[in-house]
Each structure stands twice: as structure tokens, then as C-alpha cells.
Structure 1
């Protein structure tokens, strides 16, 4: 964000969430075993809700978000992200700041929540 490339910051920050969810999914893979093709196919997505379902965490997130409104707010900020946002020229400094806070917030951030599950 220091270079004022808010669209880029917005776009790239979401990949941290995607990688964290995929780290949770990776726990299902077993060493020296060919993974189920269906599981692999579900992993090659950029849809956070579907990835969380594949990780077995979507319902847990909804329960935790209900108990922690800050986490729920963070989820609402990030949940609709798609890689096509990289073509956006409409993301502002505030958009990028809000998104990064929703990801990194030490109390209510999505990344901290995911870290407890990988």
C-alpha cells in the first residue's frame, strides 16, 4: 500500500487467505498416497466458501462468526473476493485498508482464525 497501488494490495492480500484455507485442506492429504481426484479438483478453486467447505471449516466459521461479531464482519469483507478483482481500477486506499484489517486483525482477522485450523 505504500506505493499507492491499492488495487494490487487488495488483489494480492486475498491470496494469503486462499493459501491459508488451502493449508487447512492440505491436512487431508496423506504422505505416499495419491489423493482423491475430487478433493484435488475442489482445491483448485478461488471460491472461499467452497474452499472452506472442502476444508470442513465453513460451518465452524459461521458458528464462530455468530459468537464473535468482529470475525463475522471480517468474513463479510473478504467472502466475495474473486481473482478478477485484479482488473479493477476502483479500489481505494480505504478498501485496501479495510480488507487487510479483515485479514490480519489480531483479534478478529480471518487469517488468525484459519491459523488455528491448519
Structure 2
């Protein structure tokens, strides 16, 4: 996959998560909002590679082919930028604190309305959302 495909997928999964939230499908909304962030971070990683393709070098691949948002932030070279932005903006910082706990195993769990709304809101906040921040780097 390439950068633009990851960007499109992030946008699509974000819309899916919002639709599921409005339909009362909390677990699906929770999972897909985190997955949208994962796709966004992978778009950031792809931006670093030749012709914006996802990396093919084995050592880098091992860092990138992950579902762990923290590892993906590091692979995208965004650890310091995120820390600085979280320090400067407490709302963004709190949103990242919510989102960082998401992982691919969320698809096997049942999530409550409160949990789903908390994550979807942290990801989609129009001013300080996690995906809005990721988009500034993709």
C-alpha cells in the first residue's frame, strides 16, 4: 500500500467508526477509530519512503508492520513532535493518552458506550483530535 491509500483508508475507517457509534455499535466504533489512527500513522511512515510507498527494508519493516500506535509513532519519526505538541496542548495530550491504549486486540473485546465515545471523541475532535494531529504529518 502507498501513502494515499493509507490516507484514504484512515478517512474511511473514521467515517465507519462514527457511523457505528451513532448506530449504538460500541465495540465496532471503538476498534475502527483506533484502526483509523493506525492507518494515518502508516501514511506518515510511507511519506518517509521512496515514492511514498510503505517500506520494504527488513529492519524498518519490523518496526512498521505493527498495530502498536506507540511503535508506529516512533517509526514515523514523530515521538518528539508529539511530546512537544502534547506538552503545549493539554487537550491534545489527553486525547493521545486515551488513544495510545488502543491495539488490534480490541477487535476481540466488547466495549461500552462510554469507552467507545471516549476513544472516538479523542480521535475525531475537530481541533485537538489525534487523527487531526496525524494528518498534519502525513
Work out whether 1:56 is the aligned partner of 2:89. Answer: no
Per the normalisation by structure 2, the TM-score is 0.78
**Higher RCO structure (Cα 8 Å, ≥6 apart):** 1
Name the CA distance, whole Å, in 1 between partners of 2:23 and 2:137: 33
Q: Which of 47, 50, 53 is the aligned partner of 1:27?
A: 47
Gaps of 5+ in 1: none
Question: What is the count of residue pairs matched by the alignment?
Answer: 116
Q: Deviations for 1:58-106, whole angstroms, at most 9, x for unmatched residues? A: 11101100100000000010101111111212x2112111111100101
Which structure: greater helix fraction? 2
Residue 12 of structure 2 is matched in structure 1 by none
Q: Which of 109, 112, 116 is the aligned partner of 1:92?
A: 112
**Shift >3 Å, 4+ stretches:** none
Name the CA distance, whole Å, in 1 between partners of 2:101 and 2:119: 11
Name the CA distance, whole Å, in 1 between partners of 2:134 and 2:30: 19
1:36 offset after TM fit, Å? 2.1
Per the normalisation by structure 1, the TM-score is 0.91
2:22 partner SS: coil
Name the CA distance, whole Å, in 2 between partners of 1:27 and 1:39: 14
Coordinate RMSD, CA, aligned = 1.5
Gaps of 5+ in 2: 1-20
Name the CA distance, whole Å, in 2 between partners of 1:114 and 1:84: 22
Name the CA distance, whole Å, in 2 between partners of 1:117 and 1:87: 30
1:4 offset after TM fit, Å? 1.8
1:2 offset after TM fit, Å? 2.9
